[in-house]
């Protein structure tokens, strides 16, 4: 199926105008397939690779059904993490800019009184994390009696985080004749249970090419002993000089230690995990989006759905337990038609686990050697030279010219420039770094064919041919190769600084601590 144009969907001019403003030229495959079905009001299960526009695939039909003058909550979107709720709310906001609908993100960690005040403005669309939504329902500050559309974004993750009961309680408040849509890049089998319970005769719309992960991501692994991972990371960052990188660590402690270690070594890095206050989380995300930090170190709190343009590299400092998690983590790069690189560090005892991930994702991950010192140094010098040239091009150097001329009279120009480069490269290799070692992940035995995309979900409508991924066209996208490149064309957007204050992190599930067989997950996303 070829991609449709947005004008093929018979959308209102004000919605079309917003789409044009966003720079979308044609619909992506998942949008081409799901928008017509969703506009008919049918229930829908939508699966497509990371970064292929699922948000607009449910967002566009949902807003098309709502009238500006309506004062009731008409649509409810649930997402597993706060950052994702905020981001989806921003995309909805952009899509409704001309139509003038009101939407509101509702998530834990934000002052509830402030949320209640915002609810008085009668938003028609609520985007929330399940725990905080339930809070509002119990306080009767949110009533869902008039909701017509429900979306579960990253439905499988919400299940995995143990939100089933919360979702059940929330959906009890929503009229049965609603339209329900469920979206994710991965659809493990237990999603069927959720679908059976909450969806009514859903259409399955999937855009699943042979491999589950997005095709524009160049994947590789490096075999490295646990104690050498940090060295490997710094060499990799030096060699590749990512525009923006996300480094995933397994635990919150790991993330804290790693972010600190990177800072000590002179990288512009910060950490994100569920134990930070909402203020801290917002600040880190804002800095990452606007490029004031280049490396985001995160737990799986950042694995799902986050769309930060300019992320050229993802590094799995620790391998994730689940193949789904691998797919989502690496999917933070290679989005919207751009290319990206995903590197995984694998300790010798984790090689089996890596093969398991390969089988499930149906993608062979090639091994690459640990970058050498020389490659790292060369990479760093290249970036420094680029920065220097940028300053040369900016031309604002008059106040330095006097001293430059003086120095050149006394010293050799190559000698001088080399010294400047050395100074700018700013080596902090000596800074002491201590990371607490993590246990290796044990290979899990699971039938590979039942996971994400390996099999069509039951009830799959065979008539819908599954297209290929990609298919993007967005006028302002110059695909940046990832190397050096100080040409940042990222849309800053920014999450806006939402004050937290009252930090009531719901931790609804008994979280696994390090004792379990499964490594501790950061379960305080919401
Ligand atoms: N038709 C389109 N043309 C160009 N860009 C698009 C189009 N639709 C969406 N995008 C952009 O693509 C990026 C990825 O979209 P989105 O976050 O919705 O992906 P996703 O499929 O939900 O990914 P994930 O599985 O990681 O959640 C966003 O920046 C979005 O604005
Ligand atoms: Mg998404």
Q: What is the ipTM of this complex?
A: 0.99
Choose the weakest-confidence range: 13-27, 306-320, 453-467: 453-467
Q: 85 alpha carbon to ligand 2 midpoint, in Å?
A: 10
Segment 49-76 mean pLDDT:
97
In a domain, 221, yes or no: yes
* Last residue within a domain, chosen from 444, 462, 480: 444
Confidence of residue 422 (pLDDT cuts 50, 70, 90): confident
pLDDT at 526: 76
Q: Does one domain contain both 218 and 127?
A: no
Q: 502 alpha carbon to ligand 2 midpoint, in Å?
A: 28
Ligand 1 atom nearest to CA at 27? 1
Q: Does one domain contain both 284 and 167?
A: no
Tokens describing residue 200: 């009514």
> Whose CA is closest to atom 2 on ligand 1?
24
Q: Does one domain contain both 407 and 453?
A: no
* Last residue within a domain, chosen from 444, 459, 478: 444
Q: Does one domain contain both 29 and 51?
A: yes
CA dist., res. 148 & res. 372, Å (int): 57
Q: Does one domain contain both 278 and 389?
A: yes
In a domain, 520, yes or no: no
Going through 175-325 in order, the beta strands assigned E by DSSP cover 179-184, 203-207, 217-223, 244-248, 269-272, 295-298, 311-316
CA dist., res. 382 & res. 479, Å (int): 20
Q: Does one domain contain both 192 and 288?
A: no
Strand partners, 244: 311
Q: Does one domain contain both 101 and 217?
A: no
Instruction: Please classify residue 178 by burial: count the beta carbons closer than 10 Å to its beta carbon, then call 0-12 exposed, 13-18 middle and 19+ buried.
Output: buried
pLDDT digits (tens, 9 = 90+) for 70-85: 999 999 999 999 999 9
In a domain, 164, yes or no: yes
> Whose CA is closest to atom 31 on ligand 1?
53
Residue of 39, 37, 32 lying closest to 63 (CA atoms): 39
Q: 523 alpha carbon to ligand 1 midpoint, in Å?
A: 25
* Last residue within a domain, chosen from 398, 421, 444: 444
- Ligand 1 pocket test: pick from 53, 185, 306, 339 the residue with the most ligand atoms within 8 Å of its Cβ: 53
> Whose CA is closest to atom 13 on ligand 1?
336
Q: Does one domain contain both 355 and 383?
A: yes
pLDDT digits (tens, 9 = 90+) for 188-225: 888 888 899 999 999 999 997 766 777 789 999 999 99
In a domain, 478, yes or no: yes
In a domain, 525, yes or no: no
Ligand 1 atom nearest to CA at 23? 4
Q: Is the dihedral of CA 406, 409, 410, 412 positive or negative?
A: positive
> Whose CA is closest to atom 27 on ligand 1?
305
Closest ligand by atom to 330 CA: 1
Q: Does one domain contain both 146 and 87?
A: yes
State the total domains in the chain.
Answer: 3
CA dist., res. 237 & res. 346, Å (int): 17
Confidence of residue 408 (pLDDT cuts 50, 70, 90): very high
**What CATH number should be reported for the domain holding residue 35?**
3.40.50.300
Ligand 1 atom nearest to CA at 336? 12
Where does ligand 1 bind, in terms of residues with CB under 6 Å? 24, 27-28, 31, 48, 50-56, 185, 305, 307, 331, 335-336, 472-474
Q: Which residue has the higher pLDDT, 473 or 70?
A: 70
Ligand 1 atom nearest to CA at 48? 21
In a domain, 151, yes or no: yes
Q: Does one domain contain both 197 and 248?
A: no
Q: 90 alpha carbon to ligand 1 midpoint, in Å?
A: 13
- The length of the chain, given as a count of residues: 526
Q: 39 alpha carbon to ligand 1 midpoint, in Å?
A: 19
Q: Does one domain contain both 323 and 387?
A: yes
Residue of 313, 264, 316 lying closest to 288 (CA atoms): 313
Tokens describing residue 141: 């500050």
Tokens describing residue 383: 């970036």
pLDDT at 475: 41
CA dist., res. 247 & res. 298, Å (int): 6
Choose the weakest-confidence range: 125-129, 188-192, 368-372, 459-463: 459-463
CA dist., res. 455 & res. 208, Å (int): 10
- Ligand 2 ion: residues within 5 Å (CB): 54, 305
> Whose CA is closest to atom 9 on ligand 1?
53
Q: 84 alpha carbon to ligand 2 midpoint, in Å?
A: 8
Range of the domain at 421: 211-444
Residues contacting residue 30 through CB under 8 Å, at least 6 positions apart? 46, 47, 48, 52, 53, 54, 57, 205, 207
Q: Which residue has the higher pLDDT, 480 or 182?
A: 182
Residues contacting residue 411 through CB under 8 Å, at least 6 positions apart? none
- Ligand 1 pocket test: pick from 9, 307, 340 the residue with the most ligand atoms within 8 Å of its Cβ: 307
Ligand 1 atom nearest to CA at 154? 27
> Whose CA is closest to atom 1 on ligand 1?
27
Q: Does one domain contain both 137 and 162?
A: yes
Q: 187 alpha carbon to ligand 2 midpoint, in Å?
A: 13
> b/e map of 28-43 (b: 16 or more CB within 10 Å)?
bbbbbbbbbbbbeebb
> Whose CA is closest to atom 8 on ligand 1?
53
- With contact defined as beta carbons under 8 Å apart, do 515 and 273 qualify? no
In a domain, 1, yes or no: no
Confidence of residue 478 (pLDDT cuts 50, 70, 90): very low
Give the number of other CB atoms < 10 A from CB of residue 27. 27
In a domain, 484, yes or no: yes
| Residue 369 clears pLDDT 70, i.e. is over it | yes
């Amino acid at each position: 199926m070829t991609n449709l144009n947005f004008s093929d969907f018979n959308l209102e001019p004000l919605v079309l105008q917003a789409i044009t403003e966003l720079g979308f030229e044609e619909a992506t495959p998942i949008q081409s397939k799901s928008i017509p079905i969703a506009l008919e009001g049918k229930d829908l299960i939508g699966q497509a690779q990371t970064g292929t526009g699922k948000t607009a695939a449910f967002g566009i039909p949902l807003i098309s059904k709502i009238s500006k003058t309506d004062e009731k909550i008409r649509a409810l979107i649930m997402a597993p993490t706060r950052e994702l709720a905020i981001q989806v709310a921003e995309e909805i906001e952009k899509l409704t800019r001309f139509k003038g609908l009101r939407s509101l993100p509702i998530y834990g960690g934000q002052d509830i009184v402030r949320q209640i005040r915002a609810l008085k403005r009668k938003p028609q669309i609520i985007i929330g994390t399940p725990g905080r939504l339930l809070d509002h329902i119990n306080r009767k500050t949110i009533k869902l009696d008039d909701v017509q559309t429900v979306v579960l974004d990253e439905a499988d993750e919400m299940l995995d985080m143990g939100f089933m009961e919360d979702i059940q309680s929330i959906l009890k408040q929503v009229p049965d004749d609603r339209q329900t849509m469920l979206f994710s890049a991965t659809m493990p089998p237990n999603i069927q249970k959720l679908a059976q319970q909450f969806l009514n005769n859903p259409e399955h719309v999937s855009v699943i090419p042979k491999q589950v992960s997005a095709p524009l991501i160049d994947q590789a692994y490096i075999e490295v002993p646990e104690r050498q991972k940090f060295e490997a990371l710094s060499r990799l960052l030096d060699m590749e000089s990512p525009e923006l990188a996300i480094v995933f660590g397994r635990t919150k402690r790991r993330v804290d230690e790693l972010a600190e270690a990177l800072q000590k070594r002179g990288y512009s890095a910060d950490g994100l995990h569920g134990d930070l206050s909402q203020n801290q989380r917002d600040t880190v995300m804002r800095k990452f989006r606007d490029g004031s930090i280049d490396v985001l170190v995160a737990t799986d709190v950042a694995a799902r759905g986050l769309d930060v343009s300019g992320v050229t590299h993802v590094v799995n400092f620790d391998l994730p337990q689940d193949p789904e998690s691998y797919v989502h983590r690496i999917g933070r790069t290679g989005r919207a038609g751009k290319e990206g690189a995903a590197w995984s560090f694998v300790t010798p005892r984790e090689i089996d686990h890596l093969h398991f991930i390969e089988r499930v994702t149906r993608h062979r991950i090639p091994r690459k050697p640990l970058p050498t010192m020389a490659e790292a140094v060369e990479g760093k010098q290249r970036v420094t030279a680029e920065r220097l040239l940028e300053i040369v091009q900016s031309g604002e150097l008059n106040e330095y010219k006097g001293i430059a001329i003086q120095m050149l009279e006394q010293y050799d120009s190559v000698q001088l420039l080399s010294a400047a480069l050395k100074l700018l490269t700013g080596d902090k290799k000596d800074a002491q770094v201590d990371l607490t070692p993590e246990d290796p992940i044990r290979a899990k035995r699971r039938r590979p064919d039942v996971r994400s995309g390996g099999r069509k979900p039951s009830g799959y409508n065979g008539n819908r041919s599954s297209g290929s991924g990609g298919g993007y066209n967005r006028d302002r996208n110059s695909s940046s190769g990832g190397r050096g490149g100080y040409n940042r064309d990222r849309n800053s957007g920014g999450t806006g600084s939402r004050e937290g204050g009252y930090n009531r992190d719901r931790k609804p599930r008994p979280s696994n601590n390090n004792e379990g067989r499964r490594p501790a997950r950061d379960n305080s996303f919401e």
